[in-house]
Chain A
Amino acid sequence: AQRVTQPEKLLSVFKGAPVELKCNYSYSGSPELFWYVQYSRQRLQLLLRHISRESIKGFTADLNKGETSFHLKKPFAQEEDSAMYYCALSVEYTGANSKLTFGKGITLSVRP
Chain B
Amino acid sequence: ETGVTQTPRHLVMGMTNKKSLKCEQHLGHNAMYWYKQSAKKPLELMFVYSLEERVENNSVPSRFSPECPNSSHLFLHLHTLQPEDSALYLCASSQDPGGGTRTGELFFGEGSRLTVL
Contacts and interface: CB of A to CB of B under 8 A. Distances in A.
Interface in A14-38: 32, 34
B7 interface: no
A47 to B, nearest CB: 11
B42 A103 contact: yes
Contacts of B103: 97-98
A95 B50 contact: yes
Contact of A97 (B3, B41, B90, B96): B96
A86 interface: yes
Interface in A85-112: 86, 88, 90, 92-105
Query: How many residues of B sit at the interface, in one of the four size bands?
Result: 20 to 34
Contact of B48 (A86, A92, A99): A99
Contacts of B45: 99-101
Contacts of A45: 107-108
A96 B42 contact: no
B27 to A, nearest CB: 13
Interface of B: 3-4, 31, 33, 35, 40-43, 45, 48-50, 55-56, 90, 94, 96-98, 100-111
